Amino acid sequence: MTTIQEQGARTLSRTPGRGRVIDAYAGFGLMVQFIVRRNWLRMLIWTIALAGMIAIVVESQRIAFPTQADRDAYAAIANTPSVAALTGLPYAASTLGGILNIKLWMTEAVALAFAVIFLVTRNGRAEEEAGRTELLRGGVLGQHAYSLANWVVAAGFSVLIGLSSALVAIGQGLPALGTLVMGASFTGVGLVFIGVAAVTGQLAQTSRGANALASVILAAAYLTRAAADLQADEDNPSILSWASPIGWGQQMRSYGESLWWPFGVSVAAAVLLCALALLLERRRDVGEGILPDRRGPRHASALTRTPVGLTLRLQRGSIIGWSLGVLVGALFFGTVATAMADLLSGDNPIAQGFIGGSKDVLDGLLGFFAMANVLLISAFALQSTDTIRAEESSGRAELQWSRAISRVRWALSRMAVPAVISFVLLAFSGYAIGASFGASIGDPGQGGRFAAASLAYWPSVLLVIAFVVFCAAWLPRVASALTWGIFGSMVVLSMFGDMFGLPDWVVDNTPFTAVPRLGEEFSAVPLIVIGGLAVVLVVLGLQRLRTRDMTAA
């Protein structure tokens, strides 16, 4: 009879001295199954969304540019600096595939990069942070088995995205070679950023840190290639393009020369990065990162100690992000307006939807852009004000309300920030649309006119803020879902209401469409009505917030 101890000793004696290399990967297959099981739905949704976008864009571009003559005309004007900077240097722009690349390639590539970064971190560093990796590693699981399984699953996901994109494009009648190269170019970008996230997952100690670090590298890759595409010689970007993993994907030039070898560069980089990550993993303890945990200040600054200052400090990142996004969007809107107006003929049904009641296509388009910009700023205001509810449901409101600050003052400090910032953003982004549009038509005086037209929407943004406060006070448990839902339908109604054939009195009377558009005759009445509504909602909301019980989640 053998005891358990004797059996155990025998197992050990089979692996004397240093552990076998293969042991570091014990349990790999099981972990692959485990990770797929926990993430299949997430990956499926990404796949449907990314491949589906290709079908939609190809179809819409086929309608927008039905004949070869249309496409040739487009190719002649496609190469503007803002297109090169934002979506990449156009080439083969007179083919449907080339147009697809201009419209969608960058979006797909960056979206996939984000998808794999989040996926790798979610299954890697986040699991380790939560202590679940420790649980698994306590069992028969090799040191590297889990990480390797994580990256292999993410790589499989990247291949799936590439293949499904190619198949959808083939289904839309695009040339087979071009579509395969396009699919591979997506996969290549995905693979490199798996490597990047694998390394940042070793470096940072928190999942937030790992995601942030990888996102910074993605942003650097994006900006590097933007610089390269701007310094292009004809349709060849500068050599700098090779310094960016996104550039490698672009250099495969699907639907153009269709080169395969840059894909090899991406694969090699991915393998090298993962090998580096394995090396790092061998050197560190479970739960620890290579980079030290970042310290913060020991004391709160005088500003942070005030309620408004605290709101600003807590939303600092969000405010900077939204501001950059809004300003870049505004410059983009302004730059492409004339080119788009030239392309859209007045009898095109999509164009009519855009321009609303305006007689002139360019005026209508500019008014549409100005409103889109306002909606973006309103989304920021909504998100910022929504923290009133978030603080309460998380329990942090209890912390503050049990101090010497009234709920009304507290809520006002949370509303002041989005109200003031949205005013500033409206002025600056409006000016940016006007200035960049003015630059494209050689009229520098457009900025002020656009800034004023944007500021006319300030009462509408205040109404959004007031509505959020009202819902947070009266319907705390459903406030977030309710406000975002209603705002979302307001966006669709304001921008595309005409296309749905809704009655005019509905389409023209949303808080955004009721405001006189750029180029229309100005009337202060709608602004006063909207502003008055906002005041009423705020008063009712604050009154309720003051007199109701605190309502945690």
Q: How far is the CB of 231 from other proteins (least distance, A)?
A: 38
Interacting span for other proteins (CB under 8 A) from 101-109, 235-243, 262-270, 304-312? 304-312
> Rounded to an integer, what distance in angstroms lies between the CA atom of residue 107 and that of residue 245?
15
| Nearest residue (CB) to other proteins, 259 versus 550 | 550
Number of residues that bind other proteins (CB under 8 A): 34
Should residue 398 be labelled a site residue for other proteins when binding is judged by CB under 8 A? yes
Instruction: With CA atoms as reference, report the closest residue to 229 among 220, 217, 241.
Output: 241
Q: How far is the CB of 474 from other proteins (least distance, A)?
A: 16
> Rounded to an integer, what distance in angstroms lies between the CA atom of residue 66 and that of residue 348?
12
> Rounded to an integer, what distance in angstroms lies between the CA atom of residue 318 and that of residue 314?
9
Should residue 206 be labelled a site residue for other proteins when binding is judged by CB under 8 A? yes
| Nearest residue (CB) to other proteins, 38 versus 396 | 396
| Nearest residue (CB) to other proteins, 275 versus 550 | 550
Q: How many CA atoms lie within 13 A of 349 on its CB side?
A: 7
Task: Determine how many CB atoms are found less than 10 A away from the CB of residue 13.
Answer: 8
Angle between helices 361-385 and 316-343 (to 10 degrees): 160
Q: How far is the CB of 407 from other proteins (least distance, A)?
A: 9
Task: Map residues 337-376 to x or -, x wherever contact with other proteins holds by CB under 8 A.
Answer: ----------------------------------------
Should residue 296 be labelled a site residue for other proteins when binding is judged by CB under 8 A? yes
| Nearest residue (CB) to other proteins, 195 versus 541 | 541
Task: Specify the DSSP class assigned to residue 174.
Answer: -
> Rounded to an integer, what distance in angstroms lies between the CA atom of residue 289 and that of residue 301?
29
Q: Which of 406, 489, 523, 543 binds other proteins (CB under 8 A)?
A: 406
Task: Map residues 313-332 to x or -, x wherever contact with other proteins holds by CB under 8 A.
Answer: xx------------------
Please give the torsion angle defined by the CA atoms of residues 517, 520, 525 and 530, in that order, rounded to the nearest 10 degrees: -10
What is the footprint of other proteins within residues 20-79 (CB under 8 A)?
none
Q: How far is the CB of 268 from other proteins (least distance, A)?
A: 36
Should residue 399 be labelled a site residue for other proteins when binding is judged by CB under 8 A? yes
Should residue 295 be labelled a site residue for other proteins when binding is judged by CB under 8 A? yes
Interacting span for other proteins (CB under 8 A) from 133-141, 303-311, 376-384, 497-505? 303-311
Residue 236, phi then psi, degrees to nearest 5: -110, 120
Q: Which of 38, 132, 396, 477 binds other proteins (CB under 8 A)?
A: 396
Q: Which of 236, 304, 323, 348 binds other proteins (CB under 8 A)?
A: 304
Beta bridge partners of 236: 233
Q: How far is the CB of 297 from other proteins (least distance, A)?
A: 6
Should residue 306 be labelled a site residue for other proteins when binding is judged by CB under 8 A? yes
Contact 212, 294 (CB under 8 A): no
Contact 124, 114 (CB under 8 A): no
> Rounded to an integer, what distance in angstroms lies between the CA atom of residue 470 and that of residue 534?
10
Beta bridge partners of 517: none
Please give the torsion angle defined by the CA atoms of residues 49, 162, 113 and 280, in that order, rounded to the nearest 10 degrees: 140
Tokens representing residue 192 in the block: 């490199």
Q: How far is the CB of 24 from other proteins (least distance, A)?
A: 29
Task: Map residues 491-530 to x or -, x wherever contact with other proteins holds by CB under 8 A.
Answer: ----------------------------------------
Contact 126, 12 (CB under 8 A): no
Task: Determine how many CB atoms are found less than 10 A away from the CB of residue 68.
Answer: 11
Should residue 550 be labelled a site residue for other proteins when binding is judged by CB under 8 A? yes
Report CA-CA distances (Å) from 474 to 326, 346, 397: 31, 46, 16
Q: Which of 17, 138, 139, 297 binds other proteins (CB under 8 A)?
A: 297
What is the footprint of other proteins within residues 130-169 (CB under 8 A)?
none
> Rounded to an integer, what distance in angstroms lies between the CA atom of residue 146 and that of residue 508?
56
> Rounded to an integer, what distance in angstroms lies between the CA atom of residue 385 and that of residue 475?
15
Should residue 216 be labelled a site residue for other proteins when binding is judged by CB under 8 A? no
Should residue 390 be labelled a site residue for other proteins when binding is judged by CB under 8 A? no
Q: Which of 6, 233, 347, 549 binds other proteins (CB under 8 A)?
A: 549
Task: Specify the DSSP class assigned to residue 236.
Answer: B
Should residue 400 be labelled a site residue for other proteins when binding is judged by CB under 8 A? yes
DSSP string, 33-61: HHHHHHHHHHHHHHHHHHHHHHHHHHHHH
> Rounded to an integer, what distance in angstroms lies between the CA atom of residue 171 and that of residue 55?
8
Should residue 298 be labelled a site residue for other proteins when binding is judged by CB under 8 A? yes
Interacting span for other proteins (CB under 8 A) from 67-75, 166-174, 310-318, 378-386? 310-318
Interacting span for other proteins (CB under 8 A) from 193-201, 250-258, 266-274, 297-305? 297-305
Q: How far is the CB of 476 from other proteins (least distance, A)?
A: 13
| Nearest residue (CB) to other proteins, 401 versus 428 | 401
Contact 254, 97 (CB under 8 A): yes
| Nearest residue (CB) to other proteins, 406 versus 509 | 406
Q: How far is the CB of 310 from other proteins (least distance, A)?
A: 6
Contact 147, 278 (CB under 8 A): yes
Residues of this chain that bind other proteins (CB under 8 A): 205-206, 208, 293-300, 304-307, 310, 313-314, 394-396, 398-406, 547-550
